[in-house]
Chains A and B, each alone.
Chain A
Amino acid sequence: MTIKRSLFGVIHGISALLVAFFLFTGMAYAAHPDVSDSEDAIQAGQSLFNANCRTCHRLDQNYTGPALRGVTERRSLDWAKRFIVNSQALIQAGDAEAVALFREYNNIVMPSHDFLSDDDVMNLLAYIEYGDTAEASAGAAGAEGTAEGAAGGIPSEYLTIILVVLVFVLLLILVVLGLIVSVLKKYLSQDQDLDQDDKEFIDQKTDIKKVFTSDAFIIIITTIVVALVVKTALDGLYNVGIQQGYAPKQPIAYSHQLHAGEYEIPCQYCHTGVEIGKSANIPSANICMNCHMHIQNVDGKEGISPEIAKLYDAYDNNKPIEWVRIHNLPDLAYFNHSQHVAVAGLDCQTCHGPIEEMEVVYQHSSLTMGWCIDCHRNTEITTQGNEYYDKLVQLHSESKDALKVKDIGGLECAKCHY
């Protein structure tokens, strides 16, 4: 075992060395001799790269723009410098290479960098050619890290496993006890010197029929059944008119878990009405297209995902996407989002639950009147920056509870029903 492992280690080490050697030698021949490989130049170039290039370029992969390493080998040094400083000037001058590159990358305009001095550009090229050879592998390691992190939260599965094991253990104990009883019985029945009482005790058989017909049994079972039936009936009655848990299938399988959870897009980016109007608003397709103009699939897969294709279809043909409304407050009650979000400063999750974890959105709260009133009774109002309430707040702090929503009309019928 240990020999095998050390052997493997040696081979691994050698292969790593070989890879590093090839990488290094490959680079050494690639770059233009004028490009410095000094540590200072690379360092200076790195900070310039991070500030100005990193959002579109990677050293070793094509991204929004092409991979940059080896640029001084592929092109002339002068061309590379001119392209970096002002690519549009080069393209408009009709430089064939520049125009071809511009076309290849979907006519994306690279901003001019005429604020960079000649030294700056040379430092930048030093970083591009010699900097960060570990970048690619670091990226891969990062991806692995997040995958592991995502797999961490599965306690509910463990719970089921624990329960199953427990039930199994209990059954096992039952079987063992049964075995012990029968063994003891056999042993005692061989013994002849027993009293009459003891013999009866040993030979007694549980008469199942008698148990089932006994009064106690019937009463217990009837009570349990009646209690269960009554509970289901009452629960059912309380659920009439409540849509808690409603999770309809939407025309596009949009995942809040991905958008709001993983990518942390704030709710207001799409639900633009939430601070300024009664409704939070469902975004129109043009808001989706702000990102999906460029993102056509999830997890970096190739091609267009079938769900995103539905979005493109709606956008190209000017068709509205008919999302199914989930939170249907009865017509008899008035609710206004801006009052709760902009004025009271509530988080969306207070009423809508853990939206950022929902693959399919469901109605989290009951939205009953009791639920509204409960919150109005317990919530202190935010009065910062609003002098209108200063005296009320002061009075409340002196005499009784803090100023709650209920104290400024939060329980008035006509606040919501009119």
Chain B
Amino acid sequence: MKLKLSTYIVATFGAAFGLASCSASGDFPGLEYAPQMYHSVAYEPLTQITDEDEGSWLSSREDGKGEFYNSNPNNPHGMNMREPAPNTVPRNNRGLLPYRKSVADLEGAAGVENPIELNDEVMSQGQQLYIQYCATCHGSQGEGDGKAGEVIGGVANLKGGAYIDLPEGHIFHVITHGKGRMGAHASQISIERRWKIVHYVKQEIQKQ
């Protein structure tokens, strides 16, 4: 009787503390219920499991690897993402071709016209994009006083005399390739969005 009771007690405590340690914290993601439904069979963005033995305790895979092994062995670094094949040209649904002026061709860029029609919607989108991608350094009013810009130093005051009369194509070119201490932003902002920012900068920030 006594033995039985103490067994029960130990079992209950054990179960309680065992379960309490299931929750996630720090490096431990927590215990999974039905892990086969959680882990993706297909390659997932931003995650890969390179350990071939992970999940081998419940593996039903034909290649004998662990159930959760999820990494592309054919690509560099096992990544899913690859650079586009050379000499291929991306086109979007509006038919905008990639911008091809070389970094040094600032003068040629000055003649490029803004393909996006200016209207109120474009302006409000341009404002939002400006806040997201530019204001950190150039400041919300374009005066070169953004918080990160103060640390980097040498951020252009878009209202300053050297910049205020620059043509739209020049601004687009600089966003695309960077200039001086500014880095290239082509990988972050699509062509269409860059031209919307140009509209906002020209119409609002550099309004004269």
> Known contacts A115-B162, A278-B45, A281-B46: does B156 contact A55 (CB below 8 Å)?
yes
Q: Cβ of A287: which chain B residues have Cβ within 8 Å of it?
A: 187-188
Closest to B162 in A: A111
Q: Cβ of A244: which chain B residues have Cβ within 8 Å of it?
A: 23-24
Give the contacts of B154-208 with A (CB-CB under 8 A).
154-157, 159-163, 178, 180-185, 187-190
Check A241 against B38 for contact (C-beta < 8 Å): yes
The answer to the question of A131 belonging to the interface, with a C-beta cut-off of 8 Å to chain B, is no
CB distance from B17 to the nearest CB of A (A): 7
Q: Out of A116, A229, A241, A294, name the residue touching B152 (CB < 8 Å).
A: A294
Check B12 against A263 for contact (C-beta < 8 Å): no
Taken residue by residue from 226 to 248, chain A's Cβ proximity to chain B (1 for < 8 Å, 0 otherwise) reads as 00011011011101111111111
Check A64 against B153 for contact (C-beta < 8 Å): yes
Q: Out of A56, A109, A236, A243, name the residue touching B20 (CB < 8 Å).
A: A236
The answer to the question of B104 belonging to the interface, with a C-beta cut-off of 8 Å to chain A, is no
The answer to the question of B148 belonging to the interface, with a C-beta cut-off of 8 Å to chain A, is yes
Q: Cβ of A65: which chain B residues have Cβ within 8 Å of it?
A: 154
Give the contacts of A270-295 with B (CB-CB under 8 A).
272, 276, 278-279, 281-282, 284, 286-287, 289-291, 293-295
> Known contacts A241-B38, A279-B46, A286-B187: does B24 contact A246 (CB below 8 Å)?
yes
> Known contacts A264-B136, A287-B188: does B18 contact A331 (CB below 8 Å)?
no
> Known contacts A55-B149, A111-B163: does B154 contact A269 (CB below 8 Å)?
no
In the complex, what distance in Å separates the CA atom of A109 from the CA atom of B106?
Answer: 14
CB distance from A27 to the nearest CB of B (A): 25
Q: Cβ of B112: which chain A residues have Cβ within 8 Å of it?
A: none
Q: Cβ of A415: which chain B residues have Cβ within 8 Å of it?
A: none
The answer to the question of B97 belonging to the interface, with a C-beta cut-off of 8 Å to chain A, is no
In the complex, what distance in Å separates the CA atom of A54 from the CA atom of B143?
Answer: 10
Check A246 against B132 for contact (C-beta < 8 Å): no
Q: Cβ of B135: which chain A residues have Cβ within 8 Å of it?
A: 266
In the complex, what distance in Å separates the CA atom of A276 from the CA atom of B25?
Answer: 31
Interface size on A, residues (CB 8 A): 64
Check A243 against B29 for contact (C-beta < 8 Å): yes
Check A247 against B26 for contact (C-beta < 8 Å): yes
Taken residue by residue from 99 to 124, chain A's Cβ proximity to chain B (1 for < 8 Å, 0 otherwise) reads as 00000000011011101100000000
The answer to the question of B79 belonging to the interface, with a C-beta cut-off of 8 Å to chain A, is yes
CB distance from A100 to the nearest CB of B (A): 19
Closest to A290 in B: B183
> Known contacts A233-B15, A242-B23, A284-B187: does B136 contact A266 (CB below 8 Å)?
yes
Check B22 against A56 for contact (C-beta < 8 Å): no
Check B25 against A246 for contact (C-beta < 8 Å): yes
Check A245 against B17 for contact (C-beta < 8 Å): no
In the complex, what distance in Å separates the CA atom of A364 from the CA atom of B136?
Answer: 26
> Known contacts A233-B16, A240-B31: does B154 contact A56 (CB below 8 Å)?
yes
CB distance from A198 to the nearest CB of B (A): 44
Check B147 against A264 for contact (C-beta < 8 Å): yes
> Known contacts A51-B157, A236-B22: does B152 contact A249 (CB below 8 Å)?
no
Check B30 against A246 for contact (C-beta < 8 Å): yes
Give the contacts of A309-362 with B (CB-CB under 8 A).
319-320, 323, 325, 328, 330-332
The answer to the question of A24 belonging to the interface, with a C-beta cut-off of 8 Å to chain B, is no
Check B38 against A330 for contact (C-beta < 8 Å): yes
In the complex, what distance in Å separates the CA atom of A64 from the CA atom of B40?
Answer: 49
Check A247 against B22 for contact (C-beta < 8 Å): no
Q: Cβ of B29: which chain A residues have Cβ within 8 Å of it?
A: 243, 246, 248, 328
In the complex, what distance in Å separates the CA atom of A363 from the CA atom of B28?
Answer: 12
CB distance from A48 to the nearest CB of B (A): 8
The answer to the question of A382 belonging to the interface, with a C-beta cut-off of 8 Å to chain B, is no
The answer to the question of B32 belonging to the interface, with a C-beta cut-off of 8 Å to chain A, is yes
Q: Out of B28, B137, B147, name the residue touching A246 (CB < 8 Å).
A: B28
Check B26 against A332 for contact (C-beta < 8 Å): no
Q: Cβ of B178: which chain A residues have Cβ within 8 Å of it?
A: 290
Taken residue by residue from 61 to 73, chain A's Cβ proximity to chain B (1 for < 8 Å, 0 otherwise) reads as 0011100000000
Check B37 against A330 for contact (C-beta < 8 Å): yes
The answer to the question of B3 belonging to the interface, with a C-beta cut-off of 8 Å to chain A, is no
The answer to the question of B77 belonging to the interface, with a C-beta cut-off of 8 Å to chain A, is yes
Q: Cβ of B156: which chain A residues have Cβ within 8 Å of it?
A: 55, 111
| Most A Cβ at <10 Å: residue of B28, B41, B136, B185 | B136
In the complex, what distance in Å separates the CA atom of A319 from the CA atom of B79?
Answer: 11
Check A112 against B162 for contact (C-beta < 8 Å): yes
The answer to the question of B123 belonging to the interface, with a C-beta cut-off of 8 Å to chain A, is no
Check B161 against A52 for contact (C-beta < 8 Å): yes
In the complex, what distance in Å separates the CA atom of A153 from the CA atom of B3?
Answer: 55
Q: Cβ of A262: which chain B residues have Cβ within 8 Å of it?
A: 147
| Most A Cβ at <10 Å: residue of B16, B47, B184 | B16
Q: Cβ of A248: which chain B residues have Cβ within 8 Å of it?
A: 26-27, 29
CB distance from B68 to the nearest CB of A (A): 11
In the complex, what distance in Å separates the CA atom of A341 from the CA atom of B57?
Answer: 39
CB distance from B206 to the nearest CB of A (A): 12
Closest to B190 in A: A276
The answer to the question of A38 belonging to the interface, with a C-beta cut-off of 8 Å to chain B, is no
> Known contacts A51-B161, A115-B161, A332-B37: does B180 contact A109 (CB below 8 Å)?
yes
Shortest beta-carbon contacts, A-B, top 9: A236-B19, A64-B154, A290-B183, A239-B23, A55-B144, A64-B153, A111-B162, A241-B33, A246-B24
Can you spell out 17 A-B residue pairs with CB atoms less than 8 angstroms apart? A51-B160, A55-B145, A55-B156, A64-B181, A233-B19, A236-B20, A245-B23, A248-B26, A265-B147, A269-B188, A282-B46, A286-B183, A294-B152, A294-B153, A320-B77, A325-B47, A332-B37
Taking A236-B21, A268-B133 as given, write out 7 further A-B residue pairs in contact, using a Cβ cutoff of 8 Å, ordered by the A residue number: A52-B161, A63-B154, A229-B13, A236-B18, A236-B23, A237-B19, A291-B151
